[in-house]
A and B are shown apart, each in its own frame.
Chain A
Amino acid sequence: METKPRLLTIIDTIAVILMIIATGMVFFYAPTEAVMGNAQKVFYFHVATAWVGMLSFIVAAIAGIAYLRSSDRKWDRLGLASVEIGIAFIFIATVTGSIWAKPIWNTWWTWDPRLTTVTIMELIYLAYMMLRSGIEDPDRRARFGAVYAIIGAISVPLTFFSARLYRTIHPVVIGSGDPSAQGTFDMTPRMLQTFMFSLVTFSVIFVSLLWHRVRLGKLAEKVEQLKLKVMA
């Protein structure tokens, strides 16, 4: 069995330290927002987890293209790892969003374009997992996974655009906001720093988890091969 790479240990350590600092910044460094109060604090991790979810979807699609071009199994492991992390982080983003939305929008859920798109994205991810679990042949599983990851990634922007044709109430904190958005606010420098720090933190966590999951995938493949050898 190969040993854990040095760099991965370093990334793990950095991720843990960053997470502790980010949590500290959210609670003690960033000022409390005047109107929304403490509920706004969920924003830092909410956006960061949603960002990781989006990122993993993009990584999965790129890995899919790379797999179809090269037929190299390492891209399939990367794609699967990315999708699994994406499912978890999109779910966290949805839950944290609901926690924020209840006091601010006075509802756990609304059919806003971002919420709708993210839900459909989660469903595409789940469909991807179901597709894979229905195929025994590893080559075909990898090929179909890659195809579905690509198609899914293309449909997500279209879904967002289609849902946006309806009116939105989700606040757009970064970039120009729509005046009809509810719960929007201007970030003070300290808020912005905390926000950016959270984004970096979760990106590092993403890299660390991705690497672990890819290694796990490689080991699982090895176990499968050994099993076949023993049975033969």
Chain B
Amino acid sequence: MEDQSLPLAKTRPETRVRNGAAFFSAVRAVIWKDLAAELRSREVLSAMLVFSLLVILIFNFALELDAATRSTVTAGVLWVTFAFAGTLGLNRSMAMEKDRGCLDGLLLAPVDRSAIYFGKAIGNLIFMFIVELIVLPVYSILYNTNLFNPGLLLVIVLGSIGYVAVGTLLASMAVQTRTRDILLPILLFPITIPIFVGAVKASTAFLQAFPMAEIWPYLNLLIVYDVIFTAVAYMIFDFVVEE
């Protein structure tokens, strides 16, 4: 085990600072690597975006999104879109590492394994936010609904964090199996049901301007989910990439 993984309390204060700094610079390096690779190839983001628009288009025909229905189903349509586009991105981001042998290189780096996890997770989160930031105005224009509601943005941030926290962990498992591409959604969706319940309910409530007292239980659910699963993924990630 590397010295970074020693319990913090046992190390001297100056090493703790240095380790902390090393940890964050490792996280930054992983994020930066993903962003730079994406900037050059643009394969993940473009696939996620086109796919999201297609999903919205299909919903348009599937649900007859007229003005009356729209107010109640908008949140559902948005979250299904994010969830589907999210699995594409998660799968791709991990498959890329696996296919070109980058994962082994990353694991050989003398940094804490959890730094790699957080780097990948934050990178995935950035991709999801970019997709969401483009889908929201497009949806607003296509369906003449104002989605620029600070509450809705908060829900999207909270929901995406939980989704990506679990998704990054499960994607790094799924790419190491024989059935990788089909496996991720099957592993991920049953675990993330609480996110969709909380996010869809809270989004609908914000869009219909419900009183905050009715929205809080759902926001709390999302916050609790984010905290628990980020912590669990942090503790467990070592076992997923161990060889």
Contact = CB atoms under 8 A, between A and B. Distances in A.
Contacts of A144: 173, 176-177, 240
A155 B232 CA distance: 11
11 contacts: A120-B193, A124-B190, A131-B177, A134-B180, A134-B183, A135-B177, A144-B177, A155-B191, A159-B197, A161-B194, A165-B217
Interface stretch (A28-36, A37-45, A97-105, A146-154): A146-154
Contacts of A159: 193-194, 197
Interface string B222-237: 0011001100100010
Given A161-B194, A162-B198, 20 more contacts: A120-B193, A123-B190, A133-B179, A134-B179, A134-B183, A135-B177, A143-B239, A144-B177, A146-B239, A147-B169, A150-B232, A151-B166, A154-B229, A154-B232, A155-B194, A155-B229, A158-B221, A158-B224, A165-B217, A165-B221
A130 B173 contact: no
Interface of B: 166, 169-170, 173-174, 176-180, 183, 186-187, 189-194, 197-198, 201, 217-218, 221, 224-225, 228-229, 232, 236, 239-240, 242
Given A150-B236, A165-B218, A130 B183 contact: yes
Interface of A: 68, 120, 123-124, 126-127, 130-131, 133-136, 140, 143-144, 146-148, 150-152, 154-155, 158-159, 161-163, 165
A148 B166 CA distance: 11
Contacts of B198: 162
Nearest to A126: B186
B194 A140 contact: no
B178 A135 contact: yes
Contacts of B186: 126-127, 130
A55 B132 CA distance: 40
B191 A152 contact: yes
Given A131-B173, A154-B232, A147 B187 contact: no
Contacts of B217: 165
In order of increasing CB-CB distance, the 5 nearest A-B pairs are A134-B177, A162-B197, A162-B194, A134-B179, A158-B194
A161 B183 CA distance: 26
Nearest to B198: A162
Contacts of A136: 178
A143 B242 CA distance: 9
Counting chain A CB atoms within 10 Å of each CB, the highest count among B176, B186, B190, B192 belongs to B190
Contact of B228 (A123, A126, A127, A154): A154
A182 B178 CA distance: 47
Contacts of B187: 127, 130-131, 148
A57 to B, nearest CB: 13
Nearest to A140: B176
Contacts of A134: 177-180, 183
Contacts of A127: 186-187, 190
A105 B232 CA distance: 39
A206 B190 CA distance: 25
A151 B169 contact: yes
Contacts of A146: 239
Nearest to B178: A134
B194 A130 contact: no
A146 to B, nearest CB: 7
